[in-house]
Chains A and B, each alone.
Chain A
Amino acid sequence: MFGQPTSPRFRAVLAGTLSAGVVFGMAACGDSKGSDSGSTDAAKSSIDCAPYTKFGDLKGKTVSVYTGIVTPEDTPQINSYKPFEQCTGVTVKYEGDKSFETQILVRAKAGNPPDIGIVPQPGLLKQLVATGKAVAAPPETEANVDKFWSKDWKTYGTVDGKFYAAPLGANVKSLVWYSPSEFKDSGYTVPTTLDELKTLSDKMVADKKKPWCAGINSGDATGWPVTDWMEDFMLRLYGPDVYDKWVNHQIPFNGPEATAALDAVGAYLKNPAYVNGGLGDVKSIASTTFQDGGLPILDGTCEMHRQASFYAANWPQGTKVAEDGDVFAFYLPGKDTSAKPVLGGGEFILAFADRPEVKAFQTYLSSDTWANIKAKLSSGWVSANKGLDPNNLTNPIDQLSAKILLDPASQFRFDGSDQMPAAVGSDSFWKQSTAWITGQDTKTTVDNIEKSWPK
């Protein structure tokens, strides 16, 4: 009966849908050819294959990669695997999915994990290792990490003393976006200490301008930009050691340090004279999406916007992101010029299989070779790999990020909310921060977060 639909109308619809599919499908074929030819040129650089063929004959093998990195960042990611595929004969199957963070747990628990997952948070890494499906990194990868990354980074990929995951990319969160031309015209200079930042803000207010703009609305994750602000100030006011204690809950969340750090943020974000340039009053911070938060800089209604390096992708097409362009960023200064704390994030490569081709691929991704190939291909990407030559980066903001990350004086700390237990880091910390922006006082806020910390 289903071979011959009873109604002619039904048949017509079926034919209609099918032909629509065919037309679109053909359009797809036409397209993909065009985009492929461009990408292969860039990835043609051949690499020394010896470190990978050591794992055996890998021809015809497949490695599956599952990640939250999707368009447009996925294209350079996929292209950067090509030299490895060409020299070893391995096929890398790339699957990008924005729901990675929940789906990877489902898949690991059900026994259907990918060969390699690109995990963006140390907290999630711990949860995945706890499923018992993850495998430790091979010694070759560990050797690469020892050679090319600082100790801090290796610690974030280690769970219970066992090294699992090599770092991949990184982003710098301690950045303040501004308009270089506006700064030049108004005679403002980039501040080098926290006090100077305050003075500069006051000067802008005196010039009848709103110095800061911000937006923290981000769907389920509304509030996260405030947590970054607070982490940045925690690092600046008390240093990396106290910061680590705070993140690991060795000092309480409602202790004097955290309270002071949040108050310091409040001096900016809850100061009606400072915010919210081009967007409204203090409360408009909560209703503005984080993507929109910095855009008033382009209109000249806001002077500064604190947001990570990845915000570069958010400027509309045609915006020149450079030191002499429409927008650029400066390093959110430390308490004084000697201290250079850097807040950031990054991804880690966690393997769920220990086949030779998977190990070889892990080793490739942790090498300086890969970092430099990736640098040439992408814009809006940076790595803390010490073997990375900043000159290979194409984008001025990436060069700035690399300079900050690779500066021997800088002390890198991973985004704290990504390391805290999920009940705090991706729940109460966000929600209470949002309540704080909309009027809740600092003490209630930190008390509530402390209460939610799992015992």
Chain B
Amino acid sequence: MSTVAPLATDSDLAAEKPSAAAIAKKRLSSPWASLAAIVIAVLWTIPTFGLLISSFRPERQIKRTGWWTFFSDPTVTLDNYRSVFGQNGGVNMADFFVNSLVICIPSVLIPLALASLAAYAFAWINFRGKNFLFIAIFALQIVPLQITLIPLLEIFVHIHITGTFWTLWLAHSTFALPLAIYLLHNFMREVPAGLIEAARVDGAGHVAIFFRVMLPLLTPALAAFGIFQFLWVWNDLLVALVFAGGGNEVAPITLALANLSGTRGTAWQLLSAGAFVSIAVPVLVFLLLQRYFVRGLLAGSVKG
């Protein structure tokens, strides 16, 4: 008996010491963890859900009662959506959809193109002052973009591009570059050096390595940063307010949304419908690309 007992303890100990990953997996997939995840997801979704319900309620009810009273007194109307699309006069948000896309797409592509090239140089080319430059770019992330607004606008006035899309493309690209370079640099550094050397042995120069070896590997990181930047530019109001000045023909949808409630905020019942119109595109983009989003984020964050 006395010999059996220690044996049993040994096997117990062995059973209680699985790998850290296994513990994490077991704990995260336990019913309690799932329950917690569901509770958090529900809590997080309730405000959006309320917004969705509000957007279908009549004006008087929105203004007088909370959205939850919908369940005891369900009245559904499309009036808010009609007003948002300008059928009762006033702003038509659809006009601004195209503007937002015209602003967003180059504002995503320009920093991606520049940052991937720069990141490659920082990761795999040796040149004088590389570390200093990289630290300088890294440090630029600390500068709040608000303090650059007036000086940047002065420059735009000076080179006569105010009131055009160029101001927004340039501004968004400028603000995006430090983070983009840093993120892509970290990703590129993770590519095994052997791969690069093998390509070099085969006679590939930097250009060939960049296009043939790096870019295919980089796709998830590019997509992740692309979504990041797309969401940021799509939802941006501040930069658009300052630089899109000069006419509503270059204003994005966020500006239309901000103005939707009217001069004195008396038409705020339209905001819920307007919000749903304006988030349609980001939600679509996110849902279709979320696989890359998570993968790319993890990839960029491993190295500090």
Write the residues of chain A forming the contact surface with B, with a CB cutoff of 8 angstroms. Answer: 1-2, 6-7, 9-10, 12-14, 16-18, 20-22, 24-25, 27-28, 31-32, 35, 64, 66, 68-75, 93-99, 103, 106-107, 109-112, 114, 218-219, 289, 291-292, 295, 299, 310-311, 313-314, 316-317
Contacts and interface: CB of A to CB of B under 8 A. Distances in A.
A72 B267 contact: yes
A16 B105 CA distance: 13
A24 B97 contact: yes
A12 B98 contact: no
B149 A106 contact: yes
Interface in B87-134: 87, 89-92, 94-95, 97-98, 101, 105, 109, 112-113
B245 A13 contact: no
Nearest to B155: A110
A129 B153 CA distance: 20
29 contacts: A1-B215, A6-B222, A10-B289, A13-B285, A13-B288, A14-B105, A17-B284, A20-B284, A21-B97, A25-B97, A31-B85, A32-B92, A64-B246, A71-B91, A71-B260, A71-B262, A73-B262, A93-B247, A95-B245, A95-B248, A96-B259, A106-B149, A106-B150, A106-B153, A111-B157, A112-B157, A112-B162, A112-B246, A291-B265
Interface-central residue, B101, B156, B280, by most chain A CB under 10 Å:
B101
Question: 8 closest pairs, A vs B, by CB?
Answer: A71-B90, A110-B153, A24-B94, A70-B259, A28-B94, A24-B97, A314-B266, A316-B60
A313 B219 CA distance: 52
Interface string B210-222: 0100011001001
Nearest to A105: B150
A21 B262 contact: no
A25 B246 CA distance: 21
Interface string B175-206: 00000000000000000000000000000000
B281 interface: yes
Given A2-B112, A21-B98, A28-B95, A111 B245 contact: no
Interface in B242-296: 242, 245-248, 255, 258-268, 280-281, 284-285, 288-289
Interface string B129-169: 00000000000000000000110011011000010000000
B62 to A, nearest CB: 9
A95 B97 contact: no
Given A74-B90, A75-B90, A317-B59, 15 more contacts: A13-B289, A25-B95, A25-B97, A27-B85, A28-B86, A70-B259, A71-B260, A71-B267, A72-B89, A73-B263, A103-B241, A106-B149, A106-B150, A112-B156, A314-B264
B288 A21 contact: no
Interface of B: 59-60, 63-64, 85-87, 89-92, 94-95, 97-98, 101, 105, 109, 112-113, 149-150, 153-154, 156-157, 162, 211, 215-216, 219, 222-223, 226, 241-242, 245-248, 255, 258-268, 280-281, 284-285, 288-289
Nearest to A9: B288
A313 B157 contact: no
A276 to B, nearest CB: 15
A66 B260 CA distance: 17
Contacts of B242: 103, 106
B247 A75 contact: no
Given A16-B288, A20-B280, A71 B245 contact: no
Contacts of A219: 265
A159 to B, nearest CB: 23
A134 B198 CA distance: 66
B101 A316 contact: no
A350 to B, nearest CB: 16
Given A20-B281, A31-B85, A98 B263 contact: yes
Contacts of A295: 63-64
B111 to A, nearest CB: 11
A35 B157 contact: no
Nearest to B113: A2
B247 A27 contact: no
A176 B63 CA distance: 21
Contacts of B60: 316
A6 B266 contact: no
B265 A218 contact: yes
A7 B289 CA distance: 11
A98 B246 contact: no
Contacts of B215: 1, 6
B123 to A, nearest CB: 17
A419 B92 CA distance: 35
Contacts of A112: 153, 156-157, 162, 245-246
A98 B59 contact: no
A362 B57 CA distance: 43
B255 A97 contact: yes
Nearest to A6: B219
Contacts of B245: 66, 95, 97, 103, 107, 112, 114
B156 to A, nearest CB: 7
B167 to A, nearest CB: 10
Given A20-B280, A73-B263, A314-B266, A99 B94 contact: no
A131 to B, nearest CB: 12
A383 B104 CA distance: 42
A94 B107 CA distance: 26
Contact of B248 (A6, A28, A96, A106): A96
A235 B59 CA distance: 36
A18, A95, A106, A112 — which one has the most chain B CB atoms within 10 A of its CB? A112
